[in-house]
Structure 1
Amino acid sequence: MHIHFIQHVAFESPGYILEWAQGKGFSTSFTRLYESVEFPPVENTDWLVVMGGPMSVHDETEYKWLASEKAYIRSAIDAGKKVLGICLGSQLIADVLGARIYKNDQKEIGWWLLETIDVQHPLTKDFPEDFPVFHWHGDTFELPAGATHLFKSKACKNQGYLAGTNVLGLQFHMEVDERLVAQMMQHGKSELVEAPFIQDEATIFLNTLSIALFTRVLLGQLLDRFEAL
Structure 2
Amino acid sequence: MPVALVLRHLDIAHLGNLEAVLIGHGYDVRYVDVTVESPVDHPDPDLVVVLGGDMGVYEKEANPFLVGELDYLRDRLAAERPTLGICLGAQLIAEALGETVRRGKTVEIGFREVTPTEAGLDSPLRHVAGVPMMQWHSDTFGLPSGAIRLASSGAYSNEAFALGDYALAVQFHPELTADMYEAWITGGLDELAALDIEPDDLRRDAIANGPAMEAASVAMFSEWLGAL
Give me the TM-score of the superposition, normalised by structure 2.
Answer: 0.91
Distance 1:27 1:40 in 2: 18
Q: Tell me the equivalent position of 1:142.
A: 142
Matched, 1:202 2:200: yes
The structural deviation recorded for 1:41 is 5.4
In terms of fraction of residues, the more helix-rich structure is: 2
Deviation per residue, 1:138-178 (Å, 9 max, x gap): 11111111211111111222111011221111000011111
How far, CA to CA, are the matches of 1:56 and 1:128 in structure 2?
Answer: 26
Q: Considering only aligned residues, what root-mean-square deviation do their CA atoms show, in Å? A: 1.9
Number of residues of Structure 1 aligned to a counterpart in Structure 2:
225
Q: CA deviation at 1:42?
A: 6.4
Are residues 1:122 and 2:123 paired?
yes
User: What is the aligned partner in structure 1 of residue 214 from structure 2?
Assistant: 216
The gaps in structure 1 that reach 5 residues or longer are: none
The alignment status of 1:52 with 2:57, answered yes or no, reads no
1:30 corresponds to: 31
- Render the CA deviation track for 1:18-47: whole Å, top value 9, x for unaligned: 11111222101111134x223255653111
* Conserved 8 A contact 1:91-1:141: yes
Counterpart contact for 1:83–1:166, Cα < 8 Å: yes
1:189 Cα deviation after fit: 1.4
Q: Is this contact kept in 1: 2:150–2:161, CA < 8 A?
A: yes
| Contact kept in structure 2, 1:86 and 1:171, CA below 8 Å | yes
Which residue does the alignment assign to 1:81? 81
Q: Residue deviations 1:84-110, cap 9 Å, x none?
A: 100000000000001121111100111
Secondary structure of the equivalent of 2:77?
A: helix
Distance 1:168 1:128, change over 3 A: closer
Q: Specify the code of the residue in structure 1 equivalent to 2:24.
A: G
Give matches, 1:61-80, under 5 Å: 61-80=61-80
Q: Distance in 1 between matches of 2:150 and 2:115?
A: 9
Aligned residues of 1:42 and 1:79 also touching (Cα < 8 A): no
Greater shift, 214-223 or 41-50, is seen at 41-50
Q: Which ranges of structure 2 fall in alignment gaps of 5 or more residues?
A: none
Query: Would you say the 8 A contact 2:7–2:51 is kept in 1?
Result: yes
Q: Which residue identity does 1:220 align to in structure 2? A: V
Task: Name the stretch that deviates more: 41-50 or 141-150.
Answer: 41-50
Distance 1:41-1:75 versus aligned 2 partners, 3 A rule: farther
Q: Distance in 2 between matches of 1:92 and 1:120?
A: 24
Q: 1:100-115 to 2 correspondence within 5 Å?
A: 100-115=100-115
* Rounded Cα–Cα distance in structure 1 between residues aligned with 2:125 and 2:61: 38
Residue of structure 2 in register with 1:2 after alignment: 3
Percent of counterpart pairs with the same letter?
25
Match of 1:17 in 2: 18
Identify if the C-alpha distance between structure 1 residues 108 and 158 changes in structure 2 by more than 3 Å, giving closer, same or farther.
same
